[in-house]
Amino acid sequence: MPDRIDSPKNPRIKAMLRLRNNRERKKTGLILIDGVREVARALAAGVELQEVFACRDWCDDEEARNGLAALRAAGYAVTELSPTAAKALAYGERRSGIIAIARRPQRTLADLSLGAAPFVAILEAIEKPGNLGAMLRTADAAGVDSVVLMDSACDPFGPNVIRASVGNIFRSFVAEATAEESMAWLQEHKMQVVISTPTADKTYDEVNWRLPTAVVLGSEAHGVSSRWEEPQFACEHVRLPMHGQADSLNVSTTAAVLFYEAVRQRRAEPKRA
C-alpha cells in the first residue's frame, strides 16, 4: 500500500467514509476513530487498530506529535494524508490530524472489575450520541467504577459517540449488555439500584450512595423501562428538585448531578449512629 494518499477520491478514503454508516460498521466489524486524542485513548485502551493515517500539516501541536510518536513506538505504520485528502474526511470544520480504522471492541460484563463497594452507571437505551458521549466523559471524570451500556439505542462506537466522549468509550470500565444480562449481574453483586424519577419522595441527596450502588438512567424519550419495577430490585427512587418552570433535565445533566453526589458522599466521613 502507498505510504501517502493525495487524492480525496482514493479508494481507501472512500472506504473510511463508508464507516460513518452504521450498516457498514456492522458488516465489516470495523470502526472509524477520528481525532488525535480519540486515537490516543483507543491505543492506550488496547483497541486493535487496523490502519493509521495522519496529515502532517495538521499535526502541528505537541499533543499531535506525541500521539504520532506513540503510534510509531507501538509499531504502527502511519500512512500520510495530504491536506486535500484529510479534508475529505474532516467532520465539519474540525481538522483531524490523526485518523484510524480499528476493530470494534467487544467488552462484556465479565470484563468489568468491581471493588468492595462499587458505583456503577447503567445507561439504558440511550438514543442520542451526544448524550451518551457526555455521560461517558462525566463518568470518567467522577470516577464511576463501571458503565454498562444496556440495550443501546445508538451505536456506542459510531463516530458521534467517539467524538462526544473524546475517546472515553474505549475505556476498560465500559461494557455492553442486554437487559437480562445486566439485571442478573446486578443481583449477583447485590447492588442497590437507584432510579431518578420526578415523582419520587426522596431527593437525590437523601439516599446512601456509599453502598454498592447502580444508578439507572433511561432513554431521553421514555426514561427507564418498566422492568425496573419488578420486586426483586426494590429500587430507590429519587428526584432532583425543580425550582423553575422546567419539569425535567437532560439525561446527561441528571447523570452529572447523581454521579457527583455519590462522589461527595463517598469522600465524606461516614455518618455516626
Residues 63-113: tens digit of each pLDDT: 999 999 999 999 999 999 999 999 999 876 778 899 999 999 999 999 999
Please give the pLDDT value at position 273: 42
Average pLDDT in the 180-198 region?
94
Report the CATH number that the domain containing residue 231 is assigned in CATH.
3.40.1280.10
Same domain, 222 and 150: yes
Q: Is the dihedral of CA 81, 84, 90, 93 positive or negative?
A: positive
Residue 115 located in a structural domain = yes
Residue 272 located in a structural domain = no
Average pLDDT in the 166-186 region?
97
Residues 70, 209: Cα–Cα separation, whole Å: 39
The model's pTM is: 0.93
Residues 59, 83: Cα–Cα separation, whole Å: 11
pLDDT tens string 2-28: 589 999 999 999 999 999 999 999 999
Amino acid at 42: A
pLDDT tens string 117-174: 999 999 999 999 999 999 999 999 999 999 999 999 999 999 999 999 999 999 999 9
Same domain, 137 and 260: yes
Domain range enclosing 212: 109-267
Same domain, 122 and 255: yes
Please give the pLDDT value at position 269: 58
Same domain, 255 and 134: yes
Same domain, 81 and 118: no
**β-bridge partners, 103:** 30
Residues 30, 46: Cα–Cα separation, whole Å: 15
Reading the block at residue 214, the C-alpha cell is 447502580
Percent of the chain residues past pLDDT 90, beyond the cut: 85
Residue for cell digits 445486566? Answer: 182
Question: How many domains does the chain contain in total?
Answer: 2
